[in-house]
Amino acid sequence: MTYQVLARKYRPQNFQEIVGQEHVVQALVNGLENDRLHHAFLFTGTRGVGKTTLARVLAKALNCLEGVSGNPCGICQHCQEIKNGEFIDLIEVDAASRTGVDDTRSLLENVQYAPNKGKYKIYLIDEVHMFSKSSFNALLKTLEEPPEHVKFLLATTEPDKLPVTVLSRCLQFNLKRLTQKQIGDHLGSLLNKESVEYDDHAIQLIARVADGSMRDALSLMDQSLAFGAGLIQFDEIRAMLGTIEQSHVTELLKLISDNDEAATVEKMDWLHDMSVDYTQLLEDFCLLLHEVSLIQTLGRVTGGSSFDLKELKQFAVQIQAETIQWYYQLVVLALEQIRFTPSKKVSFEMAVIRMLAFVQQSGEPQMAGQQTGKQSDSTVKGQSNKPQANKVRSVLNQTAETVQVQKPSDDSNHNQTIKTITSNESIDEESIAINSIDSSKAIDSNKENGDVEAVNHINVMDLTTDSWPEVFKQMKLKGMARELARNLELLENKKKVITFAVDEAAKNFMTVKAQHAIETELLAASSDYKLKFTLKSEADTLARQTAQQQAQLQEEKVQNVDPVVADLQQQFGATIIQNKLGD
């Protein structure tokens, strides 16, 4: 007997065997038991979650010789013929190969005739979104008012491509992606039936790579059995999939947070020699940072990854929450840009370089428990690479100012709201907690941490809204402190209290450290002054002014259009793509 793949051998034959779609099963079973049957059903969802399987089980329930019920017998002639694809009254159509209107018309020619054997004539149309517009139009009338003996079962992965006229005529069920636990448990039960020895970690790896699809998981299981000669072992599955142990990901994060450049370079070389999948590696890095962030903010983990819980808790304590968020943004950016880089390796290494540059420029020890001696050792290790690192940091500094520019609103009548921040408010979307800061203590603290390169003696007594741009140029700020200063609007300067408004779009830069750095730099010669920060929507900041100037320049360029381009716009309705090639 020829070998049958697991996805077909263990295809569910009744509603009870379907995994992870309880909300759909309950609705269908209740409708069958209470004789409340719609004439058209639409099953949507990603690949491999059970759309076609549910449609076939529903066809069994409608035509079972034991009668219409939510539990077809599975052994009668009709159930067996449907299982084997031989039932004459179940017409399965692949819409991808029959897209034309003539195909649809020929399909519907026999709709008015009664079924040959069963109680219902069932049309199962898979990938229905592939129908042409004319095919949908030909189907509409029959789909709206079919004969009593006809049921339509439609399945698609892209319901947004279906006309609303079709959607409104169907009872729609959206099938969910399966969780890693659901896939892992199901794979384990199938391997027990097959009497196959397996490793739990290997099953979890397959479930994670399957990305919510049971069919993908079963296909990977078939491949794994062939690769491992009938055994499922973690090391062999990892080698087959081209992934690495997640301990290497945690080790890389530790090296980056320690600012150990030499060891980080060695680790990247080792990863390259292992021929890893860099996309998967970046995704694993995202998972790691996500787990750490969950511990820091919610005190819990998802349990969907195989990272060591002890290491996750250590990272949560040793690395600041804002640094974790910044790392996450850099990794996500690398994943977005991976299609445009010369190679995936380049995108991954640039993400690591940016993280290292952030650690070096921030001027803060990223590891809360890190000792001075360890920092000095790390400095010695990376000393030979400092000239190259300084060049990288210089380029990043030049581009950082343009990354965070927020496009101003075109509505000049937009109501601006100001929120005063008190020390008792918590961090949420409405307010940000900022404790009152004693200026003299802040200055001493930032001097010790090295947040400011040099103290500029700025006369804050004469600080006004007009003079703030020039004062900003004199301030030697770096990193998040500089970005926060670019997004400040000076509201008032009186009674030795300087009040700044922070643009709401830049409230993520309002860290305590960034405020300390600005206060240290601005009040170096005026320790009796204090700073106060408030939130304001659409604040008139330097960043917003820069964005307005750039928008104005772009508008002037558009107005000075070449005559040939102007003719194309007038005659053919052409539009100008504002972004240049490579943006």
For 206, the token pair is 């397959």
Q: Whole-model pTM? A: 0.54
Please name the residues in contact with 301: beta carbons below 8 A apart, sequence gap of 6 or more.
Answer: 291, 294, 295, 309, 312
The pLDDT-based confidence of 386 (bands split at 50, 70, 90) is very low
Boundaries of CATH 1.20.272.10 in the chain?
246-367+380-403
> Per-residue pLDDT tens for 259-305?
888 888 988 888 888 778 888 888 888 888 998 998 888 887 765 56
Q: Tell me how far the alpha carbon of residue 578 is from its chain's centroid.
A: 27
Taking the C-alpha atoms of residue 362 and residue 450, their distance in angstroms, rounded to an integer, is 9
Q: What is the CATH T-level fold of the domain 246-367+380-403, as seen in this structure?
A: Zinc Finger, Delta Prime; domain 3 (1.20.272)
Looking at 278-292, 355-369, 443-457, 564-578, which range is the least confident one? 443-457
**CATH architecture classification, 180-241:** Orthogonal Bundle (1.10)
Reading the block at residue 322, the tokens are 């804002």
pLDDT tens for each residue of 395-431:
344 433 433 333 344 443 434 333 333 333 333 333 3
The pLDDT, as a whole number, for residue 413 is 40
Decide if pLDDT at 82 tops 70: yes
Domain with CATH 1.10.8.60 in the chain: 180-241
* Phi/psi-derived region of residue 93, left when phi > 0, alpha when psi is between -120 and 50, beta in every other case: beta
517 pLDDT band (50/70/90 cuts)? confident
CATH level 3 topology of 6-174: Rossmann fold (3.40.50)
Predicted local confidence at residue 406, as pLDDT? 38
Q: Which of 35-39, 62-66, 370-374 has the lowest mean pLDDT?
A: 370-374
- Alpha helices, DSSP H, located in 274-406: 278-298, 309-318, 321-337, 344-362, 372-381, 386-403
Q: Are 41 and 151 in contact (CB under 8 A)?
A: yes
CATH 3.40.50.300 residue ranges for the chain:
6-174
Has residue 58 got a pLDDT over 90? yes
Alpha-carbon span 515 to 485, nearest angstrom = 9
